[in-house]
Structure 1
Amino acid sequence: MLPALCEVLTHPDCNLRYLGLVSCSATTQQWADLSLALEANQSLICVNISDNELLDEGAKLLYTTLRHPKCFLQRLSLENCHLTEANCKDLAAVLVVSRELTHLCLAKNSLKDTGVKFLCEGLSYPECKLQALVLWNCDITSDGCCSLAKLLQEKSSLSCLDLGLNHIGVTGVKVLCEALSKPLCNLRCLWLWGCSIPPFSCEDLCSALSCNQSLITLDLGQNPLGSSGVKMLFKTLTRPNGTLQTLRLKIDDFNDELHKLLEEIEENNPQLIIDTEKHDPWKKRPSSHDFMI
């Protein structure tokens, strides 16, 4: 299949804009041929090669393509491609020189804190154009959050960040909230689904929401916030003039006090939609597909 596809991609009349190659089990030579085809193609802007084992050679070929001045890819998903922290060093170099790449999904790769640190080094360059980064289930802890928090406090192109299903801990939440409180932070969407955030971390979240003027989406789903944590968040959100438009969280005990606070939020911040995860939460996870369209 890939040889024929490469021939199509290099044809001058090819107008293909989206390419999905999920679980295609290509050989190293086929990845090489595809890389050359991507360099020659002038129409592709979205490529999804999730669930493929690229190996080091395949990954390096792809990075070379992304650095090519005639590569026009804007959105790329490498979800579950067996990438490691070492691969992130090459990816960081790509982020610095790529003129078009704005959306990158690296979900389900064991990048760890070292990998995140490498990525942040690339993201810190003013030439970097990346806007959305998906790091769902990448074995990231509070150390990785410290690298991201430092980046977010400075002027950065990054506006959407998915850290779902990482054990970022209390310290991770705290440093991210400190970053959200800084005037240069322009993060608009933050997903912290299933990050084991405890009730007392809501104090940091409330502090960030009180002064942040850019965040429009905050996902705290599947975190054990408890009634006390939800109450703190709701009290903060009863104040008008907030920018938040979507808040997702899990409520185990929806009591009368929370109902009353919710009514106040609806009155003072009518633009805010609160999702209490009554339906299947897994179906609402930001996926590579969401970032590719």
Structure 2
Amino acid sequence: MLHCHFCSRLSNCRITEEGYKALASALRSNPSHLIELDLTGNDPGQSGVKKLDDLLQDPDCELKTLSLRGCSITEEQCLILTSALKSNPSHLKDLDLSINEIRNTGVNHLCDILKDSHCKLEILWLRYCMTDEGCSAVTSALKSNPSHLRELNLSGNKLGDSGVKNLSDLLMNPQCKLEILDLWKCSITEKQCLILTSALKSNPSHLRGLNLGINEIRNTGVNHLCDVLKDSHCKLEILRSVTITYINHNFKITSTV
């Protein structure tokens, strides 16, 4: 028998807590077909999060993409959601919790998922939702399970020295297959840029996209980045704030952003 999978995109629909409850209850009656759920910009409230938690815990749930960007998710609500994801971690491939007040407590619970060997997350967006302590915890957790992640977006969070060191350790790991790394506006300094680029030089072949826009890397940081770009093993295709195309071991600037 053929099973039809479907996606539900309801971003910025002004769904209330009651709407969340109704939607989650409906989805629970037929959970095995839903593969993408986008609720960006809708506030679920406590009861809405609980209903979503019930859906995620359902053993028949095979959700692969979940976006809760800008949903006013609190620390307590993040705990509820991550507890549900821990009970069923192997299906989710894409998670966006950006622009939520999950704070360090919520981040720590998320880290429990990232460390789980059953976690197969490939895309993780955590823009504008953490302190430098949270960044350190996330990057440390990713080191323990590095082989699945393909895209990491930490834009708008201050990485701090510890976060930069952990991220560098992740990039240096031969099991790391990260292809897109977004560190826009992460307060990265010249010294921190040296640490990151040194890590990239040791494992340059996987990364395709890198965003270091609005950071204090200055000329010293750029010079170290150039060492990566000159490496014949480097396959970088997109570099922001300039877009660069790699052609026959030469770099051609195609546009600026």
How many residue pairs are counted as aligned between the two chains?
Answer: 252
TM-aligned CA distance change 1:218 to 1:273, over 3 Å: farther
Give the gaps of 5 or more residues in structure 1: 1-13, 252-261, 280-293
State the partner residue of 2:177: 186
| Runs (5+) with no aligned partner, structure 2 | none
Query: Aligned to 2:185, what secondary structure does the other structure show?
Result: coil
Partner amino acid, structure 2, of 1:235: D
State yes or no: 1:37 paired with 2:26: yes
Compute the displacement of 1:170 (Å).
Answer: 3.8
Displacement of 1:62 after TM fit? 0.4
How far apart, CA to CA, are the structure 1 residues paired with 2:217 and 2:252? 18
Q: How far, CA to CA, are the matches of 1:149 and 1:274 in structure 2? A: 31
Q: Match of 1:113?
A: 104
- Which letter maps to 1:202? C
TM-score by length of 2: 0.85
Where do 1:252-291 residues align within 5 Å?
A: 268=249, 270=250, 278-279=256-257
Are the structure 2 counterparts of residues 273 and 150 from structure 1 closer, same or farther at C-alpha, using a change threshold of 3 Å?
farther
Aligned-residue CA RMSD (Å): 2.8
- Which whole-Å CA distance do the structure 1 matches of 2:240 and 2:4 have between them? 39
Contact kept, 8 Å, 1:52 with 1:81, in 2: the verdict is yes
- Aligned pairs for 1:1-293 (under 5 A) are 17-41=6-30, 42-96=32-86, 97-138=88-129, 140-156=130-146, 157-212=148-203, 213-249=205-241, 268=249, 270=250, 278-279=256-257
Describe the SS at the equivalent of 1:45: strand
Does the CA contact (< 8 Å) of 2:34 and 2:63 recur in 1?
A: yes
What letter matches 2:176 in structure 1? Answer: C
Does the 8 A contact of 1:17 with 1:46 survive in 2?
yes
Tell me the amino acid that sits aligned with residue 230 of structure 1: V
Q: Is the helix fraction higher in 1 or 2?
A: 1
The 1-side partners of 2:57 and 2:120 are apart by 13
- State the 1:36 CA deviation: 1.9
Question: Structure 1 pair 15/168, CA: closer, same or farther in 2 (3 Å)?
Answer: same
- Which of the pair is proportionally richer in strand? 2
